[in-house]
Amino acid sequence: MDKNKTKYIFITGGVCSSLGKGIAAASLGSLLELRGFKIGLQKIDPYLNVDAGTMSPYQHGEVFVTADGAETDLDLGNYERFTDSPVSKINSITTGQIYLSVINKERRGEYLGKTVQVVPHITTEIKARIKKVATEYDLDILIVEVGGTVGDIESIPFIEAIRQFALDIGKENVLFIHLTLIPYIPVSGELKTKPTQHSVKELGSLGILPDILMCRTSRPLTEEIKEKIAIMTNIEKRAVIQALDISSTIYEIPLQYSKEGLDDIVIEKLKLPQKKKDLSRWEKIVNIISESKKEVKIGVVGKYLELSDAYKSLFEALVHGGIANKIKVNIKKIDSEYFNEDSFKDVNGILIPGGFGSRGIDGKIRAITYARENNIPLFGICLGMQLMVVEFARNILGMKDANSEEFNEDTPYPVISLMEEQKQIINLGGTMRLGTYKTKLNKNSKLYKIYNQEYIFERHRHRFEFNNEFKNIFEKNGMIIAGVHEESGLVEAIEIKDHLWAIGVQFHPEYKSKPFSPVPLFVDFIKVSSR
C-alpha cells in the first residue's frame, strides 16, 4: 500500500451520548488490524479544557494516561485495550488545545495582517492535527472519533473540519460512519427510527452524508426496519449495521461487528485490499469469560463508585487478571465514606485505588488496617499505596498523626510528601509526574517474582511520594521497599513483609493492561485472592 495514502474513517455520534462510540471505534480498529492493516485511533473532545487532567472523574469518567504522559479521555484506554496500536499525546485533540495553539500563533504574529477566524484558522489547525497522527505513525488507516453528539454547538468546528478534510484529500480516501440509537418503546413494542432520521438530517445540514450507519439497539433490527432507515437516510441497506446491546462482555463486540460485516463494507468502500483476518484472539477471550466457573470477589474501596467509568481501566485490568486465571471477577464497590467492616466479610481481596483530595481517606485507611490485620490480599495503587504507608506509620510505627502532606501539611510525620520538583509548581494542568518511568525491583520482593524481571515500565500520575527520610524505620519494622526509580531514588513500590499479599505501587499498572496481555500484578492478585 502507498504509505502516503492513509485512509481516514470519521465516526460521529447521533441522538444521545453514551452509545459506546469509543468501543465501536476501538472494535473496528481491531478488526482492521487483524486483517494486517496498520491502524491508528484518535479522539476529538470538543470541550475547552486543554486536557482531561484537571477534570473530576465525575465529568467524563477516569483520566487515562498515555505512555508519554498525556492525560486524556478514557476512550484512549479503550483504543489501547482493543488493539496493538499505541496512543500518545497527538492521539487526543480538544477544543482547548486547538484554540490555545491558534491564539499563541496569533500572538507570535504568524497570521500577520489577517483576521483570525474559526474558518479557516481553527479548522486548518484541526486538519493538521489529524494528518499528523497519520504521518507520524505511518498509518494505512486512521480512525477518528468525534466526541459529543451531532447538533452540539461545541462540535460544529470539528464537523466542518472533517467535511473539508474529505474535500482536501479526496472523498475516496475518507469514510464517514455515524453511530445512532434506535430506541425501543415498550408500550407500543416498537423500535423507532425517527431520532436516527433526524440525526442524519442534522449531519447532512453540516455537509456530511454518512457512508455507514451503526445503529445501537436493544432488540435485533428487522429487515423492514433496516430498509426504512436506508430509504429515509439515503444510505444503502447493507451499510445499516446493527449494534446490538451485549450482555456478556465488551470483548465480544469485535466479533459481533465482524458478523454484521462492518469491516467488509469498510474495506470495500475504501477500496482497500480484502485481506484475511484471524479472530481467534477475541474468540479465545470470549470463551474463557463465558466458561469460567470459579469466581472471586474483590472489594474496591473508592469514592467515585456511582460512576463505574471513573475506574474504567482498573475494573478492566481486574477482569484481565481473571481471564488469565480463568476466573470470573466480581467487583464489590465499597464506598470509602459509608461502610463498616462487615462489608469485607464476603470479599477475597481488597483494592485501594488512586484518588485525590481528603474525602474518604479515613475509610480507606480503616480498610487497609482490616486487610493487614486479617491477612487479606491487599493491593494499593498510587493513593492506595500512599495510604498503606500512612496506615503502617500510624499503627505499626506508632506515629500517631502520620499523614500525607496532601491531607495535613503540618503533620509531625509527613511519611508521604510533596516531591521537590513539585514545590514550585503553580499551574495544575499537566504538571504531575506523568507517564512511563522505569522502576528497578528489589530481588527480595514479591513484585520481582511476579514480574519476573528486574526493570519494569509502568505509568504514573501523582504529585506526592514516599518520604525517604523515613525509609530506614519502615524497613526495620517490616516494610519492604520493593521498587525504586534509580535516577531519583523515589520509592515506587512497597510490600508488607509478614502478610500473604500486601503490595502498594506508586504507578498505575491498570493503564497498560489488555485482555490479551494482562499486567502480571493483576494476574497474581486475582490468583492469590482466589485461593
Which residues are designated catalytic?
382, 508, 510
Tell me the closest approach of the beta carbon of residue 480 to ligand GLN, in angstroms.
21
- Toward ligand GLN, which CB reaches closer, 364 or 527? 364
Amino acid at 414: P
Residue 508 gets which letter from DSSP?
B
Tell me the closest approach of the beta carbon of residue 382 to ligand GLN, in angstroms.
3
Q: Please, what is the Cα angle at 136 between 131 and 139, to 5 degrees?
A: 75
**Residues sharing a CB contact under 8 Å with residue 488, sequence separation 6 or more, in sequence order:** none
Q: Which residue has the cell 465516526?
A: 11
The crossing angle, in degrees rounded to 10, of helices 21-33 and 75-82 is 20
- Toward ligand GLN, which CB reaches closer, 141 or 383? 383
- Cell numbers for 51, please give them: 486536557
Report yes or no: 25 and 248 within 8 Å, Cβ to Cβ: no
Q: Measured on CA atoms in the order 361, 365, 366, 368, is the torsion positive or negative?
A: positive
- Toward ligand GLN, which CB reaches closer, 7 or 463? 463
Parallel, antiparallel or unpaired: strands 490-496 and 479-485: antiparallel
**Residues sharing a CB contact under 8 Å with residue 188, sequence separation 6 or more, in sequence order:** none
Tell me the closest approach of the beta carbon of residue 428 to ligand GLN, in angstroms.
11
Tell me the closest approach of the beta carbon of residue 348 to ligand GLN, in angstroms.
23
- Toward ligand GLN, which CB reaches closer, 287 or 431? 431
- Toward ligand GLN, which CB reaches closer, 158 or 466? 466
**Residues sharing a CB contact under 8 Å with residue 453, sequence separation 6 or more, in sequence order:** 441
Q: Is 57 left (phi over 0), alpha (psi -120 to 50) or beta?
A: alpha
How many residues are there in the chain?
Answer: 531
**Residues sharing a CB contact under 8 Å with residue 306, sequence separation 6 or more, in sequence order:** none
CA atoms within 13 A on the CB side of 121: 17
CA dist 498 to 183, 480, 524, 527, 530, Å? 55, 10, 18, 19, 19
- Toward ligand GLN, which CB reaches closer, 46 or 380? 380
Tell me the closest approach of the beta carbon of residue 62 to ligand GLN, in angstroms.
10
**Residues sharing a CB contact under 8 Å with residue 524, sequence separation 6 or more, in sequence order:** 321, 446, 450, 501
Using CB atoms, what's the residue nearest to ligand GLN?
354
Report yes or no: 94 and 79 within 8 Å, Cβ to Cβ: no
Tell me the closest approach of the beta carbon of residue 407 to ligand GLN, in angstroms.
9
- Toward ligand GLN, which CB reaches closer, 358 or 374? 358
Tell me the closest approach of the beta carbon of residue 139 to ligand GLN, in angstroms.
31
- Toward ligand GLN, which CB reaches closer, 240 or 314? 314
Applying CB under 6 A, which residues contact ligand GLN?
Answer: 354-356, 382-383, 406, 461-464
Amino acid at 392: F
Tell me the closest approach of the beta carbon of residue 322 to ligand GLN, in angstroms.
23
CA dist 471 to 122, 456, 477, Å? 52, 22, 10
Tell me the closest approach of the beta carbon of residue 125 to ligand GLN, in angstroms.
31
Parallel, antiparallel or unpaired: strands 190-191 and 184-185: antiparallel
- Cell numbers for 440, please give them: 528497578
Burial of 152-167, coded b for 16+ CB within 10 Å and e otherwise, reads: eeebebbbbbbbbbbe
